[in-house]
Amino acid sequence: MLGGSGAAPTSAGSGRTAAPAPTPAPTGPEASLALAPVPEPPAITLEEAMQAVLEHSFDLRIAAEQVTRSEIQLRKAWALLLPTISASASYTYNFPSEEVYFVDREQLDQQALLYDSIAQILEQSAMFITDPDERQAAEERAQQLRAVAKKLSDTEPEPVTINPPHVFGANVSVAIPLFNGRAIPLLKNAYEAVDLSRAVLAQQQASLLYATLRTYYGAVAAQALVASARRQLDAAQAHRRTVARQVELKTATRIALQRADLEVVRGEQQLRVAEQAYRNARAALGQLMAREEEFEVVEPGALPPPPPTADVEALEARALAVRPEIVAQSAALEIAERMRTEAWMRYLPSLSLVGSGRYNSNTSGFINDPFTGAVTVRLDWPLWDGGLREANLRETASRIREERLRLAQLEQKIRAEVRGNVADLALKEKAVETAEHGYALARATQADAKRLFELGAATSLDVIDANLAAFFAEVELTRAKLDLAQARLALAYVLGELTPEVAHGGE
């Protein structure tokens, strides 16, 4: 039968211990590999584990993007109250172009003939005027009329382009909202949505920190159970060596040695189980930290602090004041109430001021100035929208009732969590006291059994039973401390005390 690390194989049919066969020493490259030191995995403290979880969690990064998106929505809400400026430009090619002649060659000749005839009449009448000044004035008017007639005769008819082939246009408009009743509640809801998304982020941070703390303390407890299993194996191996010496001295039977060997085998199995549990606990913690490399955990040094007060009502009030879920649900209720205000605001008109400036390159027609502008005061008042506003009012009223019920349900749940965790914490504290007392008794019994066995006043079975009792008492104490730590963590979680500051050493 094979024993533990302190046991050697026995030869069949005798009580003598057979010497193990020597193992040849490795040579060549194998020797250098065998002698190369294996690096110890780094130790991760509790604070480092929490910081790693906060930095690498996909859930937190998604929640942070939701906060960013809500802040962007806030900027959109402001757009309902701020002026808007728009500009546009256009180019138009017209085919065919349209031209209009308002005067032709015949009309110009007739007008020239008319002016020339009037000038001739003035010249003839000037011959009969006796006053030299009046005669000169008449002659000058006649000359002016002949000049106009000559100009009309020399003028070629020009068309007026109504629709030119190439037209360039531009427009700039500024719209200033003077009154929009819906914009105010929507803007406030946008701010509230930012607070809501931040509260959701805080709630996810608290949940991850709680899971990290529970997992880390579980890994520390698993590490302690490995140490307990090693001590149990050491005690079993030491007892086996003592029994082996007594067998050689003919003061103990071979049955006692076989029983001691069996306890060594059990101790080795318990150690393997404890080590596997420790590996599983570290793997769960590594998954939270997004870490695949091997690492060790470090004993935090002390259990989580107890609650600040034993007054259950004060703890309930504290939890209801700071829990992120309450903050988020309260924000959701305020958003629902403002949405009802926004539904009422749909009955009011909206008033805006619009200023626009236009440019058009087509100035050959009836428009002389290419630049024009206009200022408009616009009032929009929806008188009937098919019953949509009434439906929105009923919908928002139902939404408010729903959010109030959710808030009341959440408050009831948190109060129950606080009361349950306070009661559970008291039970776990009593369990630690009982486990410490039991472990002290088991250790004393173990020491007495070992001493009495060496004196011949106790049997090997007494020592084995005492060792097992001490091991199970130590395991029970470790688990009781883990339960107490997790109970305090659970109470800290329901009180809303698990914030990112805890991961950085804050109180």
304 preceded by a cis bond (ω within 30 of 0): no
Q: Work out the pLDDT band at 5, boundaries 50, 70, 90.
A: very low
d(CA 477, CA 325): 35
DSSP 3-state assignment of 462? helix
Residues 342-351 pLDDT 10s: 999 999 999 9
What confidence score (pLDDT) does residue 116 get?
A: 84
Q: Work out the pLDDT band at 154, boundaries 50, 70, 90.
A: confident
Question: Can you tell me the mean pLDDT for 269-289?
Answer: 95
20 preceded by a cis bond (ω within 30 of 0): no
Query: Exposure of 131 by Cβ count < 10 A (0-12 exposed, 13-18 middle, 19+ buried)?
Result: exposed
Report the phi/psi class of residue 301: left, alpha or beta, with left for phi > 0 and alpha for psi in -120 to 50: left
What confidence score (pLDDT) does residue 178 get?
A: 92
Q: Work out the pLDDT band at 229, boundaries 50, 70, 90.
A: very high
What confidence score (pLDDT) does residue 425 get?
A: 92
What confidence score (pLDDT) does residue 301 get?
A: 72
What confidence score (pLDDT) does residue 11 get?
A: 37
Q: Return the structure tokens found at 113.
A: 């003939």
According to DSSP, the β-strands at 166-179 and 371-380 are unpaired
Q: How many helices (H) and strands (E) does the chain have?
A: 12, 8
Question: Can you tell me the mean pLDDT for 335-358?
Answer: 94
What's the pTM? Answer: 0.71
Task: Between 310 and 33, name the one with better pLDDT.
Answer: 310
Residues 190-206 pLDDT 10s: 999 999 999 999 999 99
d(CA 472, CA 464): 12
**Helical H runs in 249-387?**
254-289, 312-322, 324-345
Query: What percentage of the chain reaches a pLDDT higher than 90?
Result: 60
Amino acid at 112: A
What confidence score (pLDDT) does residue 138 get?
A: 82
DSSP 3-state assignment of 204? helix
**Cα-atom radius of gyration of the chain, to the nearest Å?**
50
CB atoms near residue 492 (< 10 Å): 21
Question: Taking each helix axis from N to C terminus, what angle separates 254-289 and 46-56, rounded to the nearest 10 degrees?
Answer: 40
CB atoms near residue 238 (< 10 Å): 17
